Amino acid sequence: MSNLGLIIAERSRDIGDFLVGRLLPFRKKRMIGPFTFIDHMGPTTLGNGTYMDVDQHPHIGLATLTFMLEGELMHEDSIGTKQRIQPGSVNWMTAGKGVSHTERTPMDLRGGETFVAHGYQIWVALPKELEDMEPNFHHIPASELPQWEDGGARFTLVAGEGYGRTSPVPVYSPLFMVSIKNTEAYSLDVQGNLKGEIGICIVTGGIEACGEKVGKGNILVSKVSDTCTITLQPNSHLLLFGGEPFPEERHIYWNFVSASRTKIEAAKKAWQEKSFPMMEDDDTYVPLPGL
């Protein structure tokens, strides 16, 4: 296991009626490349009065990447975005100096029918020099993401660069996020195809790496340069993510990420005073933790 480094197990927590699994940050590994936070949403059955409703909350210093596998969400934010996301598409919101947003089950899905919601909410830290940039939002449909097949495995480059391809998601530092689904046993080759630190998130199925068998709900952490052979079990689904780490430490408090503790303290004060950028058509408010 020496060239794997860590295996991080998913830890469950509740956000209202929605169960999520926290994968990052982890006590022994705060970041993988520029990735600072990964929540695994579901899979869970919604409907009949139980829906996903994440009220208005703030961010600074990061970009959020929402990637749905099943179900749909409606994203709204303080820069006026209203964007529905469907399975396989990417919502990429750059918080920069400050943005507030909500994520909810769309109104037309709040009938009597039940449905499965399953996806990932991911934070990517911004380079230090871009932490105060203006917030922006991009939606990239599934059809625009690079996709290819190899030996019974189907690849999708969700974000960044990898395997000689570039995703249209407008990232700010060298990184990658790749979705891999296979039907038969498949030997995965990452050397020379991905650059930087690597996290291997097992969505379904399992893998064998360095003589160890690891099942769904875990992240393996390694360096691309010395990763051992990885074999996917039949009918598995992996998310590979990571990239070049930043030279500076990142501080994380609640929804705020920054290389500067002073900026985080200023964001906390602004959110408490409600002088933070707020949404015009949503008066919900998630209080600062501990208050």
Q: Tell me, yes or no, if the pTM score tops 0.85.
A: yes
C-alpha 87/C-alpha 32 separation (Å) is 25
Q: Higher pLDDT residue, 45 or 157?
A: 157
Question: What pLDDT sits at residue 193?
Answer: 92
C-alpha 78/C-alpha 102 separation (Å) is 9
- For the segment 209-234, the average pLDDT, to the nearest whole number, is 79
pLDDT beyond 70 at 94: yes
Question: What pLDDT sits at residue 29?
Answer: 56
Question: What pLDDT sits at residue 6?
Answer: 46
Sign of the C-alpha dihedral, residues 177, 40, 80, 87?
A: positive
Phi, psi of 143 (to 5 degrees): -65, -15
**What six digits make up the tokens of 180?**
């891999």
Q: Residue-wise over 53-79: b if at least 16 C-beta within 10 A, else e?
A: ebbbbbbbbbbbbbbbbbbbbbbbbbb
Q: What is the CATH number of domain 6-243?
A: 2.60.120.10
Q: Are strands 136-140 and 35-46 parallel, antiparallel or unpaired?
A: unpaired
pLDDT beyond 70 at 252: yes
Question: What pLDDT sits at residue 11?
Answer: 44
Q: Higher pLDDT residue, 105 or 11?
A: 105
Question: What pLDDT sits at residue 162?
Answer: 96
Question: What pLDDT sits at residue 26?
Answer: 52
Question: What pLDDT sits at residue 41?
Answer: 85
Question: What pLDDT sits at residue 28?
Answer: 52
If we measure between CA atoms, which residue out of 219, 213, 210 comes closest to residue 240?
219
pLDDT beyond 60 at 86: yes
Question: What pLDDT sits at residue 188?
Answer: 92
Question: What pLDDT sits at residue 291?
Answer: 60
Confidence of residue 20 (pLDDT cuts 50, 70, 90): very low
Length of the chain: 291
Confidence of residue 224 (pLDDT cuts 50, 70, 90): low
34-48, 189-203, 224-238, 253-267: the lowest-pLDDT one: 224-238
| DSSP secondary structure letters along 84-134 | EE-TT-EEEEE-TT-EEEEEE--GGG-SS--EEEEEEEEEEEPPGGGTTSP
pLDDT beyond 70 at 16: no
- For the segment 168-183, the average pLDDT, to the nearest whole number, is 98
pLDDT beyond 90 at 155: yes
- For the segment 33-53, the average pLDDT, to the nearest whole number, is 88
Share of the chain above pLDDT 90, in %: 69
Contacts of 150-156 spanning 24+ positions with Cβ under 8 A: 151/184, 151/186, 151/187, 152/182, 152/183, 152/184, 152/186, 153/180, 153/181, 153/182, 153/186, 153/188, 153/232, 154/180, 154/181, 154/182, 155/179, 155/180, 156/88, 156/180
Q: Which of 29-33, 38-42, 70-74 has the highest mean pLDDT?
A: 70-74
pLDDT beyond 80 at 276: yes
The residues facing 65 across adjacent strands are 92, 122
**What six digits make up the tokens of 122?**
């991911």
Confidence of residue 21 (pLDDT cuts 50, 70, 90): very low
In which element (H, E) is residue 266 found? helix 261-273
Side chain identity, residue 147: Q
- For the segment 165-190, the average pLDDT, to the nearest whole number, is 96
